Amino acid sequence: MANCESLARQLGLKAVLIKDEGRNPTGSLKDRPSALLVIKAREAGARIITTASSGNAGGALAGVCASVGMKSVIFVPSSIPRAKLTQLQVYGSVVVAVEGSYDQTVELCMKAGRHFGWYQRSTGYNPYTREGKKTAALEIAEQLNWRPPDKVFVPMGDGNIASGIWKGFRDLMALGFIERSPRLIGVQAEGTSSIVDAVNGDGVVRESSGSTIAGGINVTRANDPTMAVRAIRESSGFGVKVSDEEIRTAILGLARSSGVFAEPAAAAAFAGLVKSCEAGLVKDGETVLVLITGTGLKDIEAPGKRLSEPLRVAPDLNELERRLGDEGIRR
C-alpha cells in the first residue's frame, strides 16, 4: 500500500492510500477469490472449474488452476483486451470467447456449468467469491495497524467487490479488531450505473442499458447488486458515477502522481475520488483509500489518444538535440 503525499496535497486530504492489487500474482484482486475457490472446488471433488469473466477473474482462476494442476474452462466476451486473452491462453485454460456481452457470457457459463456438471466459480453465483475478496479489507486493516481509513473507494461492476470489502470490515468489527468501519464509496461508469442508481434512488436495482470502456465494470445486469447496495448504505457511504473521459483522465492522473498504472475499471475508483472531492463529498483532513483492482498492463489500449507519441530518432546526437529542442527540452 502506498501513501501518496502529492495526491493528498492536490486533493486537500490528510492521506490518500493506494492499494495496488495489480501486484497480485496474475495482476488483479481476483487472485484472492480464485485461490479460495480452487480449494472449495477440490473439496467438492470437482475435476473442472469454470467461470465467466471480463478477464481478471478468468486470468486469476487460470493462473491458480495452472499452479495446482486443475483444469479450467473460462468464458469471456470476445471483445476482451488482448493481454487478458493471452494470459488465459498461456496458462493453458480452455477459453470460450462468447460473441456477445458480458451478461450473455455469464448466462452461457451458468448454463454450461449446470449442463456439464463443472464447479461454478462465477461471481454472484458462488458465495465464496465474497469471502475471498473480503481478505483485501482484512489486509487493509492489518497494514494500517487496525486503524482503517475514513473512506474506501471501490469500482463496481457486479458489486461483489463492494459487498466483499464490506463483509471484511464487518467481520473485523464483530471480532473487535477495529472500532469503526470505513464508509464504502462505490464507483460505476455512467453507462452501467445500476447499483449507484439504486443507492441514490429507491434501493431497487434495475438493469442498465449503456456501456463503458472499462471492461471490468462493463456490466448491465449486475450479479451481486443487492448486497452492494446494502454495503454502501450500512456503511453510510455513497455511490458515484464517472464518465469514460473521466476514467481515461484518471488513468494518467493516478499513474503520474503515484506510479501506479491502473486498468480502466480500477482507475474508475480513482476518478470517483477526484469527483467526490470536487463535489465536497470528501472532507479536508480525511484519510481515503482507493482500491486499485487490476494492472493497466492488461488493457493498454484504454489511454488511447491521450498519450504523447515518442520521439522517433536515428541514433544521432544532432538529430536528437534538434528534436528535443522542438519539444522544449534541454537540460
Residues numbered 74 to 133 that lie near a copy of itself (CB under 8 A) are 76, 78, 82-83, 85-92, 94-100, 104-105, 107-108, 111-112, 115-118
Q: Which is nearer to a copy of itself, 115 or 175 (CB)?
A: 115
Binding window for a copy of itself (CB under 8 A); candidates: 145-153, 201-209, 229-237, 302-310: 302-310
Tell me the number of residues near a copy of itself by CB under 8 A: 78
Q: Which is nearer to a copy of itself, 89 or 236 (CB)?
A: 89
Contact flag: residue 176 with a copy of itself (CB under 8 A): no
For residue 291, the number of C-alpha atoms closer than 13 Å in the C-beta half-sphere is 29
142-147 long-range CB contacts below 8 Å, 24 or more apart?
143/1, 144/1, 144/17, 146/172, 146/177, 146/178, 147/178
Interacting residues of 296 by C-beta distance below 8 A, sequence separation 6+ = 22, 251, 255, 261, 262, 263, 266, 267, 302, 303
Contact string (CB under 8 A) for a copy of itself, positions 56-85, x = contact: -------xx-xx-x---x--x-x---xx-x
Say how many residues make up the chain: 331
d(CA 20, CA 11): 19
Pairing of strands 2-3, 15-20: antiparallel
Closest distance to a copy of itself from the beta carbon of 178 (Å): 27
Helix orientation angle between 244-258 and 264-278, rounded to the nearest 10 degrees: 90
Contact flag: residue 312 with a copy of itself (CB under 8 A): yes
Contact flag: residue 270 with a copy of itself (CB under 8 A): no
Contact flag: residue 25 with a copy of itself (CB under 8 A): yes
Contact flag: residue 2 with a copy of itself (CB under 8 A): yes
241 in the Ramachandran plot: left (φ > 0), alpha (ψ -120 to 50) or beta?
beta
Q: Which is nearer to a copy of itself, 138 or 300 (CB)?
A: 300
Residue of 12, 285, 321, 322 interacting with a copy of itself (CB under 8 A): 321
